[in-house]
Structure 1
């Protein structure tokens, strides 16, 4: 088939989709039907669809067919923290806050202004943070079940920066890292930016498919595994002690580095020990104070084996030099005086209340969540499409995230994630009622 004719067919499909002649959700002919209808080789028909998929106009779904996508959904929905339009209820991005937190900040700033050490915050800090501040982080980690010396804790500019420091230091372009097939979008963005190959670990409602991880390691040279064992985002699981033991055993057998993301771990009551406690020689523990305190604080921490600390310090120097002294001083003061522990307890109760409200409103709809988490995963029926539902909810002034930003497999499941922590309870109820109505309409 001449290139001009092949391109003409791609252009014709694209024009029909963009004009609405082929509306979102339209099931397209199979590859074989397309080849027969237009007198093409099967490989050329597949190439037509591949190009349309790369343009973001269609999606192929195993066992279901090829469908026109909802192209009016804003790009990056579920990843970008764009400004929410006036009147929009945001169930897309989590930034949980409690009444009175602004007063905490006001008091902390006054106390900092009265301190005798104020001038030191105008100077460069050690790349990993001052040792007494690292000690505050280490004491906090004991509450998470992780015992690590202060010298093995580094202060970073939020958990996302911590992940970047770890991956930039330990991995190089082309390296293979395994991660849950549904995972944190910020990890995906980092892996793409660093040109890493990400292999998906199949997931269940209770945790990752660890026998599948074992098989991946037998077939490929996997360097690391990225895991959220305590309150997984978006599925909300907390891996049991046996599962954690199996993951550690696989990591030791195949010499994997474990990157443990614990951003939401504070919400789980009495979870099993962190992976970093079970396999301290190969695990890097990354967390921060964005979710349990405030997203604007931008203070995080990395706990790691001693042999990697110097490398992480160099990467911190190359990326931010050091975490801003004023932010770190406020964060460590709150760690030391118990403010962080109190906020964590209040947010656990807040998340539980929001989950209870969601269970009440969404009765009759299948959901996957943890009773103390700030999000809900909502799998959709066979005929429902996540992009259509997300767009319909936007028209109802509710912003949600479809599954695509969380998925690292070519065929994205039809599901949406609801973030519960960014709006007041009355607005949350209003939004959930709309979610139930829209999902029921498309089911």
Structure 2
């Protein structure tokens, strides 16, 4: 990388921009130009600091900024590597011991499962298959949008059909919204720990994420206002209820403070409320506090089943709904009419509410097991959530803990996957819905408890 380092040194000397930001910019430029390729190894921090005539801390901040933008990955003991423009994704099949994918637990209720089978068969038998196999207007049929209104009105009493779009999952709605609201190089504000999907979407679209510090009340309104003054962000993304990963819920006062800033600076809000149906009591959505600015997203994957890829977006107005429909059509063409038909049937006949109650009950049972086995380890959890946040003691490497746990037969997600500020805390997210039964869940949680009590030391020699 000698020639590259010489090029970087010239650019840094000629620029007034902070060197750590310029390092991240230069990595992005070299990836786009082909001077750097995916999986290229970057120089060690001290080597690059010497080559660029900078101190170690500045280069470390530069690499942290590049990681925050999704440009590079760091691997313990191996260094930093270029990710490239499209993040790699390891393919895997479902596993009963898997606790990395945040999906709702499967209720073990034979009567409910039989009802799902019977009602799905009725939908298929009663449908016009020629109609289901045609292209359809984006945003959903009149019946599908009416079902979406019915579902969202549990949180948005003034939800209006002309502002609702049916989408093939929340992730697709987020992709369309980010592409609609921000261009490559522009900025969106997010929590400092947030849904990994928004990081992947931003990386894919070339959008920058600006991290807002989190406290017990939610993302900092003061930091959001400072960002509005200095960075002119294109939107605020927020996962305000049972935040993935920490399970935190933004308080009403903090929601009002964030909305006040958004209103004063006219910043659109993307409210990803995927988990809002799970708790019995939740503060009002940001969409009720700033209806003219907020795109509110709710769906079924987190309160019915991960395979039911149906979501609903309530736009700030009919015109914004039309523009979003265009972005959705460009990225996903349309919702599957077959999936929408099932979702509409289960919402209108009350099956979705029954399933939601069953998932709440199963989640509470699994959280009780987690509290019994892990309660002494300062975990953050909520009774009706199916994930929890487990801080580590700081003495154990997160990488070693996760790899040691995987060697025992369980898997969790380290905090770096959720970090947008390059400073992940010592913690992991544990998903309780992956194991297919409570017994499997208890076994996996027991493995985690054992790993905390007796950590593996893979680098210690055998004597």
Q: Fold match, TM over 0.5?
A: yes
TM superposition shift of 1:137: 0.7
User: Closer, same or farther in 2 for the Cα pair 1:438/1:142, shift >3 Å?
Assistant: same
* TM-score, normalised via structure 1 length: 0.82
8 Å Cα contact 1:79/1:185 also seen in 2: no
Work out the CA distance in 2 between the residues paired with 1:56 and 1:104.
46
> Which residue of the partner structure matches residue 230 of structure 1?
241
Work out the CA distance in 2 between the residues paired with 1:262 and 1:385.
32
- Alignment deviations for residues 283-317 of structure 1 (CA, whole Å, 9 cap, x no partner): 00112111211222211111102221111111222
TM superposition shift of 1:437: 2.1
* Map 1:384-399 → 2, pairs under 5 A: 384-399=396-411
Report how many aligned residue pairs link the two structures: 402
8 Å Cα contact 2:172/2:332 also seen in 1: no
> Which residue of the partner structure matches residue 135 of structure 2?
124
8 Å Cα contact 1:251/1:258 also seen in 2: yes
* Map 1:70-85 → 2, pairs under 5 A: 80=89, 82-84=91-93
TM superposition shift of 1:266: 1.2
User: Closer, same or farther in 2 for the Cα pair 1:352/1:51, shift >3 Å?
Assistant: closer
* Map 1:82-231 → 2, pairs under 5 A: 82-84=91-93, 89-96=97-104, 97-99=106-108, 100=110, 102-115=113-126, 117-231=128-242
User: Closer, same or farther in 2 for the Cα pair 1:168/1:357, shift >3 Å?
Assistant: same
* Map 1:3-402 → 2, pairs under 5 A: 31=46, 43=54, 56=73, 68=77, 80=89, 82-84=91-93, 89-96=97-104, 97-99=106-108, 100=110, 102-115=113-126, 117-306=128-317, 307-402=319-414
Structure 1 residue corresponding to 2:442, chosen from 425, 429, 432: 429
User: Closer, same or farther in 2 for the Cα pair 1:82/1:358, shift >3 Å?
Assistant: farther
TM superposition shift of 1:268: 1.3
- Alignment deviations for residues 16-73 of structure 1 (CA, whole Å, 9 cap, x no partner): xxxxxxxxxxxxx9959x98xxx988638679977899874557xxxxxxxx3699xx
Q: Secondary structure in 1 aligned to 2:199?
A: helix
Q: Does 1:406 align with 2:418?
A: yes
TM superposition shift of 1:219: 2.1
8 Å Cα contact 2:164/2:315 also seen in 1: yes
Work out the CA distance in 2 between the residues paired with 1:301 and 1:227.
16
- Alignment deviations for residues 368-405 of structure 1 (CA, whole Å, 9 cap, x no partner): 12222111111122222111100000100101110111
Q: Which runs of 5+ in 2 are unaligned?
A: 7-43, 81-86, 457-463
Work out the CA distance in 2 between the residues paired with 1:341 and 1:112.
18
* TM-score, normalised via structure 2 length: 0.79
| Higher alpha-carbon deviation: 108-117 or 413-422 | 108-117
Q: CA RMSD in A?
A: 3.1
8 Å Cα contact 1:177/1:199 also seen in 2: yes
Q: Which runs of 5+ in 1 are unaligned?
A: 7-28, 60-67, 72-77
| Higher alpha-carbon deviation: 431-440 or 333-342 | 431-440
TM superposition shift of 1:441: 3.4
- Alignment deviations for residues 80-112 of structure 1 (CA, whole Å, 9 cap, x no partner): 5742587x6111112222234653442233212
TM superposition shift of 1:432: 1.4
Work out the CA distance in 1 between the residues paired with 2:94 and 2:343.
31
8 Å Cα contact 1:89/1:398 also seen in 2: yes
Q: Secondary structure in 2 aligned to 1:192?
A: helix
Q: Secondary structure in 2 aligned to 1:43?
A: coil
User: Closer, same or farther in 2 for the Cα pair 1:343/1:250, shift >3 Å?
Assistant: same
Work out the CA distance in 1 between the residues paired with 2:384 and 2:372.
15
TM superposition shift of 1:189: 0.5
Work out the CA distance in 1 between the residues paired with 2:416 and 2:369.
26
> Which residue of the partner structure matches residue 18 of structure 1?
none
